[in-house]
Amino acid sequence: MNKRMRAGLIAVAAVAVVLSCIPAESVVVPAWSVQVVDKDSRPVEGINVRQVWQDYSVESTSHEEMLVTPPDGRVSFPERKISTPRIMRVLGPVKNALATGVHAGFGNSCWLIVWGKDGLEGHAIYTPGQPLPASVTVKPRGL
């Protein structure tokens, strides 16, 4: 390999490294509006709704926000995005697998935990590629 070819390969490799470090934004979970209802489909006011989200491929900790339902029982959470260097889309899952072994998680995850008023509770889970649940039916704790 001559000097010119070696210099060209080094230049291409340097550009690839620089480009892989540029952050890319991705959506962890779309905007989610959900109504909390009781077993008779009536809206539940004043109950806690906590949204927890994480991209397990590149994040080691989750994020969360809690809202309290108004009289119509509906809360809305904004779209959740993260920005990570492109190289982390490759290295993140490898690091995750090495750190946690068979317990490693990958990809986006989001769920809602509903609790508080009169001992009622419920939950909903976001599955990427599936429609977001539009409601959560709460039941007395333990049932």
Element (H, E) at 10: helix 3-20
Q: Is the pLDDT of residue 88 over 90?
A: no
* Per-residue pLDDT reduced to its tens digit, 91-130: 666 677 777 676 566 678 899 999 998 899 999 999 988 9
Q: Which of the residue ranges 55-59, 98-102, 132-136 would you say has the lowest mean pLDDT?
A: 98-102
Question: In the predicted model, what is the mean pLDDT of residues 70-78?
Answer: 97
Q: Which residues, at least 6 apart from 108, have a Cβ–Cβ distance to it below 8 Å?
A: 27, 28, 29, 53, 54, 55, 56, 126, 128
Question: How far apart, in whole angstroms, are the C-alpha atoms of residue 36 and residue 98?
Answer: 39
* Per-residue pLDDT reduced to its tens digit, 9-45: 777 777 767 666 677 788 889 999 999 999 999 999 9
Where is pLDDT greater, at 72 or 86? 72
